[in-house]
Amino acid sequence: MKKFLMALCLSIAVYSGYNVVTMEAANHWHHEQIVVHGGDTLWAIAGRWAEDGEDVRAVIHRICEVNQLSNNTYLLPGQKIVVPVRTNSTLLAQR
């Protein structure tokens, strides 16, 4: 019984470590610089860069965090902002 519990604990520890490494690899970010056009809003930009099924509010939060903006910031035409995109994103391949 003792050996079984040790093997079970070891298996759980190895599996947990694998998940942490896999999750970190999946969350590497590429910072795509874009130029704001007339009429652009944070919501519209985030909507263009959101993955399928991703909450646009999460994308807005990342954009605001990276660019040190508040979520009600007025964007100006010609302004450059950075949009964080996962490196394994299909959106990067399409651009």
| pLDDT tens over the chain, length 95 residues | 787 767 766 778 777 765 555 555 556 889 999 999 999 999 999 999 999 999 999 999 999 999 999 878 899 999 999 999 988 766 554 55
Q: CA of 87: how far to CAs of 6, 30, 54, 81, 90, in Å? A: 38, 5, 15, 18, 9
Statement: 29-94 belongs to CATH 3.50.50.60: no
Is 35 exposed, middle or buried (CB count within 10 Å of its CB: 0-12, 13-18, 19+)? exposed
Is the pTM for the entire model greater than 0.75?
no
Give domain limits for the chain: 29-94
| DSSP-assigned beta bridge partners for residue 34 | 81
